[in-house]
Structure 1
């Protein structure tokens, strides 16, 4: 996909001094943009693939940026207050750009579908938040729900695709969303601040010893590193990642045309490359 340039196009909207300095933007949803681009290229004649991929990426950036807004009460320093304000404004800005782009191109139906998908995403997040707040969620359900949230915007594009590709599209969107969720959970295991309410957290609450569960429920007590090692969370998650990547590979290999299958496989290879390189570096250091 040498003609793919969505991150560069998005840079027009994301590369602002104030946003880059204070908003601490989430990662660009590159894999999702690539998957949408290649499916539109092979299965949606006449549809402007760059426009759709850019618009969907800006919507996702807006949602992800709002998710990073600090909602805790209490006094904040000037920088923290400015960061909170910039995250809210940046999220609103990205969302408004998607509307402007699609409205300018006369894609009113796409605006409607994406708007419905945004509402569904927020509904799913609210459901998940309430379950987490009540402590009523299993580790596997947590991953499933996070994956559904990640895939909801892409599913809204199904009607633009040729009917023969829609089943493959739906399966690959679900598989990619799960893989991205697991990669995010892998990063959560690497940082103590991100461990709370992560997959590892819920796994220990579900399967851990009573003492460990009690410590987890008491905010600020216990060392995540101890639980990660005690319950083998890194190895468990690595197995899940391997299974998820293999599933995506199998689904991609069944796609026709072959060119689309190759591009879909390359997307996940690129997504997994940083984690594979980090693992190889760690293994090299331990020898």
Structure 2
């Protein structure tokens, strides 16, 4: 893989004391920046791949930061209020840099397409939120909708690619979005504060016993762990991740040219590496305890 500098370039915009101290930024969208960069290098002559990858990662970071803004209305201390304010401001700041970077290079069409994609992502988020508020959502539909939201911005870059690469781009973006969605759900299985309205929550609401559904509504400490174990949510999640990882690998291997296929496959492996390392560590600990 060629020299890749997007996280370093993004550091110019993300490395601020106040933001790092109070905003609690989401993870940098490295996999999608890498994927966009390598596709543009192979299939978009004349397009500055680093510029597009940097701008797209900043606007994604802005949207993800806004998604972390706490909307609850109860009173909070000074630190919590400052954190909320900094998240709003940081999200706005990252998004503004996206527009500044593209406008400065004359990429007005890309701004238009991505602005439309942002509007669509927000529309999909609103639809999902309303369904969740009404309790009308199945676990698979939840994953499907979250994946669509995650894929919208990247799909907007298809217009920059050669026609021969657009079908492969569409398929690999869908696969990446599903992987990212599942990886985001992993933390919710282990964190009671994040379990509400997660995939695990909707699985229990859809398939669980009546008394367990009432436990979810009560949301007391310890209920989430008990329900995760009772319904085997961790194993179900791992199976889904394995299926989607295989799907991503197969789609990557089908890409032409072969050099692009290798880079796409490496991105999938990089995305899954922390999960595989954690699984290996857990397996090793279990073997030591049995001795």
Shorter-chain-normalised TM-score: which range?
over 0.9
The residue number in structure 2 matching 1:256 is: 256
Once the two structures are superposed, residues 128-178 of structure 1 have per-residue CA deviations (whole angstroms, 9 ceiling, x without a partner) of 000000000000000000000001000000000000110000000000000
* Structure 1 gap segments, 5+ residues each: none
Please give the secondary structure, in 2, of the residue aligned with 1:130: helix
* Structure 2 gap segments, 5+ residues each: none
Provide the TM-score with structure 1 as the length reference. 0.99
Please give the secondary structure, in 1, of the residue aligned with 2:83: helix
| Equivalent-residue separation in structure 2 for 1:160 and 1:227 (angstroms) | 46
TM-fit CA distance, 1:193: 1.2
The residue number in structure 1 matching 2:20 is: 20
Once the two structures are superposed, residues 19-38 of structure 1 have per-residue CA deviations (whole angstroms, 9 ceiling, x without a partner) of 00000000000000011001
The residue number in structure 2 matching 1:10 is: 10
Alignment of 1:89-168 (within 5 A): 89-168=89-168
| Equivalent-residue separation in structure 2 for 1:218 and 1:265 (angstroms) | 43
Residues 192, 222 of structure 2: 8 Å contact kept:
no
Provide the TM-score with structure 2 as the length reference. 0.97
Q: What count of residue pairs does the alignment treat as equivalent?
A: 287
The residue number in structure 2 matching 1:198 is: 198
TM-fit CA distance, 1:222: 5.6
Residues 31, 271 of structure 2: 8 Å contact kept:
yes
- Tell me whether 1:210 sits opposite 2:233 in the alignment: no
Residues 62, 90 of structure 2: 8 Å contact kept:
yes
The residue number in structure 2 matching 1:77 is: 77
The residue number in structure 2 matching 1:284 is: 284
Task: Please tell me the root mean square deviation across aligned C-alpha atoms, in Å.
Answer: 0.9
